[in-house]
Structure 1
Amino acid sequence: MSVLRQPGVLGRTAHRRVVGVTAALSAAVVESVAVGLWFGLIVGSPSASTALAGLGLLFCGSLLRAGVVGATVSTLGDLLQPRRLGVALLLTASWIVWLFVARLFGGVLGVVVATAVLACVLTGQFVLERRVFRQPTHHRIAFTPVVPGLLMAVGASFLLVATWFVDWGASSPPLTLGPTTVVLRIEALQIAVLVFAVFVFCAHQRRFQRILEP
């Protein structure tokens, strides 16, 4: 009954939910595209040019995601501030370490160990990100982003599984468009990127839900 007497409370709650979902969707799109393109370029036998291009895409995606977080929980500010650049660099390094560990161990063990390492690193990165972007008065709020880190790490494991263990692809019948014949093909990695995007969205939605709590 006390909530019904204060309609503004419901309005603020609905506003926070809309902001949280919108921010989570934006961050998930940016991160899924960046990580997906980087992973697609780096798997197999990449050349030096594709490796550098993939690294550049990954860093730009990390910087944009940092901007989404900053605009959501505080102010957009200057993305090129040293602390914010550090957040983006740490996120970029997290994915590089994840793939390095996965390749170092290889096979199922590599997937398991890399997932555990990525979950731990992302959890630490989320804590740092919160300290960088939140105002000092909010530091007292308890926030342990273990679940978001684990969700993203599990989603990333689908990329490894699709690349190493799944040999699957489906092609559509040839489609004739004037003088051109088009064949649509879906690979296992493309499905894995979509699954990864869902996990990333769930992770960020949980993060923003907790961060935006009054």
Structure 2
Amino acid sequence: MSVIRQPGVLGRTTRQRVVGLTAALSAAALETLAVAIWFGLVVGSRTTSTALAGLGILFCGALLRAGVFGATVNELGELLEPRRLGAATILTGGWIVWLLLAEQIGGQEGVVLATLALAIVLTAQFEYERRVFGHRSIRDTSFTPIVPAVLLAVGASALLGSAWFIDWTLTSPPIALEITTVVIRIEAVQLGGVVFGLFAFIAHQRRFQRLLSHC
């Protein structure tokens, strides 16, 4: 029977898509903002204060993203409950290992190996979130989030590559305003952040849609 003759099915599917898109946009925005700020603080002249500040921002972003996931696939719950702290800790550790591994190996080989390691950690972290936050129908599904993890890791490699291997800046001609002159400056790493945000949205959207289809 066509779903057009089953408005309940059609309405449920539409709600799932809307919820999935909204959750993916929220999760991607939080992840992009946290990772971009952390990356900007530690990729340049790294000091103890910037490292600690970046770590705090990265962890808070991971904690909020875990909250978005939990509220989407089950219920809101307490933000600082142990399982959310565990999910945030795994995610934060994955990003730190990713950058340290890339720096230790160096060059394109370092980016490739770090991206592979990040994809493995993200797969495990996504799976952990599914099992501890999802209700029974989601926990019982056989969906393994390898593709979302790889997409997010590839986006991260674009961010790292834009900072390490692309050295250009696009500057606009001076724009005269009433009381000042403005020059728009766009750097490669900023575009890398945009690419990362796009990949993060696609990764989370794919993950949410697959899981919500089992609700």
How high is the TM-score relative to the length of structure 1?
Answer: 0.96
**Structure 1: gaps of 5 or more residues:** none
Distance 1:46 1:179 in 2: 37
* Structure 1 residue aligned with 2:51: 51
Task: State whether structure 2 residue 182 is matched by structure 1 residue 182.
Answer: yes
Q: In the TM superposition, what is the alpha-carbon distance from 1:137 to its structure 2 partner?
A: 4.6
1:94-125 Cα deviation digits (max 9, x unpaired): 10000011001100100100010000010000
Distance 1:174 1:137 in 2: 58
Alignment RMSD, CA only? 1.1
* Structure 1 residue aligned with 2:42: 42
Distance 2:54 2:178 in 1: 35
**Structure 2: gaps of 5 or more residues:** none
Aligned length in residues: 214
User: Secondary structure of 1:4's match?
Assistant: helix
Task: State whether structure 2 residue 196 is matched by structure 1 residue 196.
Answer: yes
Structure 1 pair 138–163 and aligned structure 2 pair: CA distance change class (3 A) = closer
User: Secondary structure of 2:141's match?
Assistant: coil
Distance 1:160 1:19 in 2: 31
Q: Which runs of 4+ in 1 moved over 4 A?
A: none
Task: State whether structure 2 residue 100 is matched by structure 1 residue 100.
Answer: yes
Is the contact made by 2:130 and 2:138 (CA closer than 8 Å) also made in structure 1? no
Q: In the TM superposition, what is the alpha-carbon distance from 1:171 to its structure 2 partner?
A: 1.0
Is the contact made by 2:169 and 2:187 (CA closer than 8 Å) also made in structure 1? yes
Distance 1:66 1:98 in 2: 19
Q: In the TM superposition, what is the alpha-carbon distance from 1:3 to its structure 2 partner?
A: 2.1
Distance 2:148 2:177 in 1: 44
Q: In the TM superposition, what is the alpha-carbon distance from 1:133 to its structure 2 partner?
A: 0.6
1:131-171 Cα deviation digits (max 9, x unpaired): 11112353221111000000000000011111111001011
Counterpart of 2:182, as a letter, is V
* Structure 2 residue aligned with 1:131: 131
Q: In the TM superposition, what is the alpha-carbon distance from 1:182 to its structure 2 partner?
A: 2.3
Q: Taking every aligned residue pair, what percent have the same amino acid on both sides?
A: 63
How high is the TM-score relative to the length of structure 2?
Answer: 0.96
